[in-house]
Amino acid sequence: MSKKNHLKEWIINDAIPNWYYRGLDKNMGFFEALDYEKNPILLPRRTRLVARQIYSFILAKELGWDGPYEDIVEHGLNFLEKFLITEEGQVFKNINLQKKVVDKGIDLYDYSFLFLALARVALIKKFRQKSLLITKKSLNWLNQKCKHNLFGYFSDPNSSMNSNPHMHLFEAAIEWIRSSTLIGNKKMYEKWKEIAYEMVLLASTKLIDRKDGSLSENFDINWNSEQNKIKKIIEPGHNYEWGWLLLRWGKLSNSIEFTNKAKKLIFIAESKGLLKNKLVISELDGYFNMKNKSIKLWPQTERLKAWHFLSNSVHDNKEEQILANLNFENSIKNLFQFIEKCPKGMWIDSLTENMIPCNNYSKASSLYHIILAIHSIFHI
């Protein structure tokens, strides 16, 4: 069996059943983490996690899982509507069920993942109207309360700006462009196409460094990047992830410009962000020196997605094609290092530079990264 088919078999037969039977709280949403004995770790239930789990189980169905995915979608939506989304469309961060306390803080990250999940939910006829209504209300609320005067959204008018939640908003926009096309909703298509254009403009004019082509994390309120290169944070994982999204946008818009920007991000991550064992580290500084050499699971999945897309693209340069194929195969092999030595259906979320696991539990939020990487292999 090929390694990619082995991954697909593992996600369908081991991981998804585990997170259905052990990770889904039959009474209240989803557990945030499971220890290696598969007992739930009680933590506040985050909007982003609920949205990610809804999305992940829909992808599982598309990969061939025959479990009750519609029941899971309904379970997740009911939890969100009961505790974390107001009638006006405001989205709260989380709820601590033990203390019965809701964190009503505003974070674009939560909205972005909610929109991403709802785009996929909209393809299920049973939930379509609910998905469209929640999306409309929450997008209107965000536009009225948090719209930045240049690009994107802020959580606090006096706070700094971050590229990551806008990346996931871009991801949601691409997803909604696809879904609205499939369901024939022209208004939703135009709205999300407009958001996608804005995120592309944000990335190309503010987030991507015009001198070296890298993309960093933190910006001031006017979208100016950190000028102190020692303090600057560049995450190779997010450069792969932005690269993958811009490759998809380049294909959608038939734009060589954005395809080239995407390749630059991926090549920087590959040349500067890997240890000798080809595992992606967490952070670089503005000089491309390694700032944080911890090894997290999620950047490995982003490397896989980026190189898989490039390996399936048309290349005039044969050397680039060979490189893409080799790096894709290597990224699959590396992913197994995070699942092979774990209990069935579990994973290692983080390793030290010396390959020592940082904890003895698996975060539910990593399921989104893993299954999306596997899904991208089989659904280009």
- Given a contact cutoff of 8 angstroms between Cβ atoms, the answer to whether 155 and 107 are in contact is yes
Separation between Cα atoms, residue 56 and residue 368, nearest integer Å: 5
294 confidence band (pLDDT: 50, 70, 90): very high
Task: State the pTM of this model.
Answer: 0.97
pLDDT at 209: 97
Q: For the segment 97-137, what is each residue's pLDDT rounded down to a tens digit?
A: 999 999 999 999 999 999 999 999 999 999 999 999 999 99
Q: For residue 315, is pLDDT > 70? A: no
Residue type, 95: I
Q: For residue 1, is pLDDT > 80? A: no
For 163, the token pair is 């590229």
pLDDT at 282: 98
Q: For residue 157, is pLDDT > 90? A: no
pLDDT at 366: 98
DSSP secondary structure code for residue 292 in this structure: E
Q: For the segment 34-82, what is each residue's pLDDT rounded down to a tens digit?
A: 999 999 999 999 999 999 999 999 999 999 999 999 999 999 999 999 9
Are β-strands 94-96 and 161-162 bridged in parallel, bridged antiparallel, or unpaired? unpaired
155 confidence band (pLDDT: 50, 70, 90): confident
Q: For residue 90, is pLDDT > 80? A: yes
Map tokens 């709820």 to a residue.
Answer: 95
The per-residue DSSP string of 137-171 comes to HHHHHHHHHHB-SSSSB-SSTTS-EEHHHHHHHHH
- Mean confidence (pLDDT) of the chain: 96
Q: For residue 339, is pLDDT > 70? A: yes
Separation between Cα atoms, residue 145 and residue 38, nearest integer Å: 41
Are β-strands 290-292 and 295-296 bridged in parallel, bridged antiparallel, or unpaired? unpaired
Q: Count Cβ neighbours within 10 Å for each residue of 89-116 and write b for 16 or more, e otherwise.
A: bbbbbbbebeeeeeeeebbbbbbbbbbb
Helix (H) or strand (E) holding 283: strand 283-284
Q: For residue 223, is pLDDT > 90? A: yes
pLDDT at 218: 96
Residue ranges covered by each domain of the chain: 208-338
pLDDT at 46: 98
Give how far the C-alpha of residue 317 lies from the chain's centroid of Cα atoms, to the nearest Å. Answer: 30
Q: For the segment 237-290, what is each residue's pLDDT rounded down to a tens digit?
A: 999 999 999 999 999 999 989 999 999 999 999 999 999 999 999 999 999 999
Query: In 10 A of CB 357, how many CB atoms?
Result: 15
Question: Nearest Cα to 262, choosing from 300, 306, 232?
Answer: 306
